[in-house]
Amino acid sequence: MTKRKSFRRPQIQKLEPLLYGEDLSAPEWRNYIEVLATKLELNDYDWMNYKLFADVSTKEYGELKIEFAYFGAYFCEMKVENENVMYSFDFATQIFQEHIVRYIQKHMKSWGETYTFNGAEEVIDFYNDVLTSPYTVEKSRQVIRRRKH
């Protein structure tokens, strides 16, 4: 009897930790991976609303848009978006605190140097810590655009 091909819905990739340097690739519009796009927003206007945005180009997942957010609650949110999928995670605030402080300290140090600030390594560490933490919960994994087979 021939086996029938099952039309199962294609599995959405699970996010794994990234190795800085190896797993990253040069974005199409830039010649080097050293400088990556990051943005920090510390909004204390009405309520604490701290966000860290980053655009990271990877070999495995393509160009990832990562957003870490803290809103004064007991958990933080990480959203990762690539061309096809949007992932959403909840993680512990201690991780956010630790990495935001490191990021800011690195930023302040760069003021005295000639090279532009590059927060990429810190962002990758942050991302990896969130994914590997036992307290992190993956809230959702949504397909936003169907990948063509």
The DSSP line for 67-80 is: EEEE-SSSEEEEEE
Contacting another protein within 86-105 (CB under 8 A): 97, 101, 104-105
Side-chain half-sphere CA neighbours of 130 within 13 A: 29
Three-class DSSP category at 1:
coil
**Does residue 119 bind another protein (CB under 8 A)?**
yes
Shortest CB 44 distance to another protein, Å: 5
Q: Which pair of tokens denotes residue 67?
A: 């957003």
H or E element: which one contains 127? helix 120-132
Residues 25 and 57 sit within 8 Å (Cβ to Cβ) = yes
- Segment lying near another protein (by CB under 8 A), choices 20-28, 81-89, 112-120, 125-133: 112-120
Confirm if 47 and 71 have CB atoms less than 8 A apart: yes
Interface with another protein includes 116 (CB under 8 A)?
Answer: yes
* Residue 36 Cβ vs another protein, minimum distance, rounded to whole Å: 9
Contact 104, 123 (CB under 8 A): no
Asked if 113 interacts with another protein (CB under 8 A), we say no
By CB under 8 A, tell whether 55 contacts another protein: yes
Contact between 26 and another protein by CB under 8 A: the answer reads no
Q: How far is the CB of 49 from another protein (least distance, A)?
A: 9
Chain residues binding another protein by CB under 8 A are 37-46, 48, 55, 97, 101, 104-105, 107-108, 111, 116-119
